[in-house]
Amino acid sequence: MTSPVSVLVFAGKTYIGRAEIQPLQPRMGVYGGRFDPEFTYPTVEPAIRRLMECTMDPSAGEAELRSAFRERDSLQLEVRSDAGFVFHPAAVHIQDATAWNPLAPIELHLLGLPPEEAKAAFGT
């Protein structure tokens, strides 16, 4: 089993939290783990929750979904290892359902992580 990698999460230049990530579906480039937000997280939380609401709502239209994804992407989420390595996944996703279930963990997912970066970080 691969050891988790400790990472820092930024929105632009603002540090918003950290996580311990591990391979979830390595063949698909999916890595993730529990996200521990910092006091700055509320600055990005509305965009994160809006995307979550849109993806969970079957009545959300295509335009609404595109808008929610654009808003999330505008946060410029970036994930770095404690050693300073910057990951370059196709997308960084924070899954936050605490508005509906305050006890739910917040999850960080790196989607489409290039194989060479996964190998360097996880040896997979």
What pLDDT, on the 0 to 100 scale, is given for residue 99? 87
The number of CA neighbours under 13 Å toward the Cβ of 15 is 11
Residue 24: its H or E element: strand 14-25
pLDDT at 117 > cutoff 80: yes
Question: What single-letter DSSP state applies at residue 86?
Answer: B
Could you tell me the maximum CA-CA distance found in the chain, to the nearest angstrom?
Answer: 43
Give the three-class secondary structure for 122: helix
Share of the chain above pLDDT 70, in %: 98
**Predicted confidence (pLDDT) per residue in 7-26, tens digit:** 999 999 999 999 999 999 99
Query: What residue segments make up the domains of the chain, in order of their start?
Result: 5-122
**Vertex 40: Cα angle to 35 and 46 (nearest 5):** 80
Q: Going by C-beta distance under 8 Å and a sequence separation of 6 or more, which residues neighbour residue 90?
A: 29, 111, 112, 113
